Structure 1
């Protein structure tokens, strides 16, 4: 887990692909933010580590760009508007 000061935790993790039989190395990489204040989890990126769509881990710079983009969208209210629209559509 990569901690960010304030209300968020940035988490990078691996998920096993149970169909591959190769463990975490053939699984998925997932990046998400946890907001401590409202107990929400925001998925930032998710991709396979191997195969046709596989790619290597993000660099530290790419991680920082994802975090920066998320924080800007969150601060502007863009994400909250999207979430409210999704709730209305249920």
Structure 2
């Protein structure tokens, strides 16, 4: 039973981190983050671009991005995973 639960947990983590999480039809979209943006505002800005925001939130917090948002204009590609988006926005 423990092995089954561990497998389920591992699959869930893999899905949250590495599965595509974009929700737009074009090849790319431009995400503009104004100076001084805090995480709740960023969440409202990025929400329409994501299929699922809960997993994005968890990973952004875990990776420390939620406290270190960098303003700028970012081109997000269709099919990117949460980790790809957060690594790109963290540059």
Q: Which has the larger radius of gyration?
A: 1
Structure (1 or 2) with the greater strand fraction: 1
**Higher RCO (CA-CA < 8 Å; seq separation 6+):** 2
**Superposition TM-score, scaled by structure 1 size:** 0.24
